[in-house]
Amino acid sequence: MAEIQVEDLRHVYSPGTPFERTAIEAVNLALPQGQFVGVIGHTGSGKSTFIQHLNALLLPSGGRVLSAGEDINRDKKSRRDIKWKVGLVFQYPEYQLFAETVYEDIAFGPRNMGLSVEQVDERVREAAGFVGVSELFERSPLELSGGQKRRIAVAGVIAMRPEVLVLDEPTAGLDPEGCAQIMANIRAYREKTGATVIIVSHDMDGAAALTERLLVFDKGRLVMDGPPEEIFSQPGRLTAMGLDVPRPTAIALALEARGVQLQGPVYTHEQLTNAILRAYRDKEGGRTPC
Amino acid sequence: MDGIIQFEKVHFKYPEDQRESLRDVSLTIREGSFTAVLGRNGSGKSTLAKHMNAILLPTEGRVLVAGIDTADAPRLLELRRQVGMVFQNPDNQIVANVVEDDVAFAPENLGLPPEEIRRRVDAALEQVGMLEYRLHAPHLLSGGQKQRVAIAGVIAMEPRIIVLDEPTAMLDPQGRREVLSTVLRLRREKGMTVVLVTHHMDECIPADRLLVLSEGRIAADGTPEEIFSQDALLRDLGLDLPETARLLRDLRQAGLELPGGALDLEGCAQAVAAVLN
């Protein structure tokens, strides 16, 4: 299985012009197959630049990206192959829907892979199933709601059966139902295929609840890399970078400022509720039964 | 008739649609108030917002803004001077090649003297935290930075009403806070009327009034405290509770006796700390 390795990655935009800007530098990490990874950082921190290197959409100005030990930018063929392996869903991908029917739109990617008509059909049906749009095949993407369009765009990438699915702000602009639905779709894809999932998100609550590892970018550098409980146990560092902590953590901090110390990591709603109820029972003098 | 925005039995249907996007909406918004508008995708909330500066005109009924009928074409410019509008996607709102020229675009069109334009542009960029980028090219900015420039362009018009249609959807948390605090400050210091369309429950908490749209109708209308205490209604309308409201609800269900009210972070922490200390 493909592990992705990033070695000393650096990217400079508009080199040699007055607008020259180093977007990322000195980024080193390994992404084992199957991990659910969140990427967070302030606007302009370099996180979008980083993910666009994972499928050779951007070429490094320095350093390398390896997939299963091979440099993905070795030659034209490797740069092409990595696009099937690592599927990238951009921000607001629904703006890129273009075909006349939902079916045709989802089929675009697999068709480009040179698959037979039957194989393309199988993949379109499978991908549509993951995101729950199978009943919409004959519709024009333009007639659908924002949430449906977003899911169709995701299906178009899933139809290539990527081993690594990278999504840039997949829930931006969706209503709460739409957000929950698309996250459930992504989880289903990961569970059934064992794919690595990398999500760039500003939604700290979602990042805290869903991912097993968080990468924090600041000013073009990877400054924190660890499980959510470790990252969110350093709220001061995050706020100094202009980032939020999950709302449950923010409430716990406001309680701490009022002299209430909660036990254990608190970054999801359930953890917060349970920690407060524990504190309440302790204060009432009752022993918590084990 | 003290509403600065008045909807009278407004219906609206897009030509290509079968169904109406707004159905019999009557609504009065007071000058100087902060109204948040929630609803699932397709509920009609953007359509509602676009009626406030005559981007869309009612198919039936009428909309009065600052006393002007939005269908009164000769008064369109006068109307748009009163109402600034900020949209979700900043790329569609930027016209110039340099940030400060973009912000100056609207005030220049008002025929203001150059010193006044300079003052407004600098003040507007300062308020959105983009002053240091005034000589940059907008297309090289990040999405969030572009949105702040677009908001500065509206602020530079010094309108009486600002209507924001999901302005923070593309911003990071800090950008969101900056935009929101800017909007709240404009309201506090200049008495501006604010209408904010959003999906973020938290952004509604400081509002005086919360409207929830569903299938083109106003399905709920009240203070954030009133609306966020109606769990079942919110679920039906496809909405979440803010984390503070969810916590207070779950703690009450577990038997804690908590005072009602405040949904902001500090108010919530105070209520919980009161039973723990």
Which of A24, A171, A175 to probe by mutation at the B interface, max B CB count within 10 Å?
A175
* Mean pLDDT of all residues in B55-83: 95
From first CA to last CA, the distance across chain B in angstroms is 49
Nearest Cα to B56, choosing from B46, B68, B42?
B46
Cα–Cα distance measured from residue B262 to residue B248, given in angstroms and rounded to the nearest whole number: 10
- Domain ranges for chain A: 246-290
Instruction: Output the CA–CA distances (angstroms, integers) from residue B154 to B3, B64, B68, B133, B176, in the order listed.
Output: 22, 21, 20, 17, 17
A68: its two tokens: 């299963």
| Three-class secondary structure assignment of A98-155 | CCCCHHHHHHHHHHHCCCCHHHHHHHHHHHHHHHCCHHHCCCCHHHCCHHHHHHHHHH
Structural domain includes residue B50: yes
Q: How many domains does chain B have?
A: 1
Does pLDDT of A74 surpass 60?
A: yes
Q: Find chain A residues with C-beta within 8 A of B251's C-beta.
A: 273, 276-277
Structural domain includes residue B210: yes
Cα–Cα distance measured from residue B35 to residue B207, given in angstroms and rounded to the nearest whole number: 6
Q: Find chain B residues with C-beta within 8 A of A24's C-beta.
A: none
Any residues with CB less than 8 A from the CB of B11 and at least 6 apart, and which?
B20, B22, B23, B24, B25, B58, B59, B60, B61
Greater confidence, B178 or A50? A50
Percentage of residues in chain A having pLDDT higher than 70: 98
Q: Find chain A residues with C-beta within 8 A of B272's C-beta.
A: 251, 255, 260, 276
* Owning domain of residue B112: 3-241
Helix (H) and strand (E) counts for chain B? 11, 10
Predicted pLDDT at A290: 46
* Mean pLDDT of all residues in B10-38: 94
pLDDT tier at A66 (50, 70, 90 boundaries)?
very high
Which of B248, B270, B272, B277 to probe by mutation at the A interface, max A CB count within 10 Å?
B272
Q: Find chain A residues with C-beta within 8 A of B199's C-beta.
A: 173-176
Predicted pLDDT at A286: 57
Predicted pLDDT at B261: 66
Any residues with CB less than 8 A from the CB of B182 and at least 6 apart, and which?
B127, B128, B151, B155
Tens of pLDDT, residue by residue over B138-180, are 888 876 788 788 888 998 988 999 999 988 877 777 778 878 8
* Mean pLDDT of all residues in A64-78: 95
A157: its two tokens: 């990438």
Does pLDDT of A151 surpass 80?
A: yes
Greater confidence, B140 or B246? B246
User: Which of A146, A242, A258 is nearest residue B269 as measured by Cβ atoms?
Assistant: A258
From first CA to last CA, the distance across chain A in angstroms is 42
Instruction: Give me the CATH number covering residue B12.
Output: 3.40.50.300
Residue with tokens 């924090």: A216
Structural domain includes residue B255: no
Check CB contact of B166 with chain A, cutoff 8 Å. yes
Structural domain includes residue B24: yes
Residues of A with CB under 8 A from a CB of B: 13-14, 19, 41-44, 91-92, 145-147, 169, 172-178, 202, 204-205, 242-244, 247-248, 250-251, 254-255, 257-260, 269, 272-273, 276-277, 279-280, 283
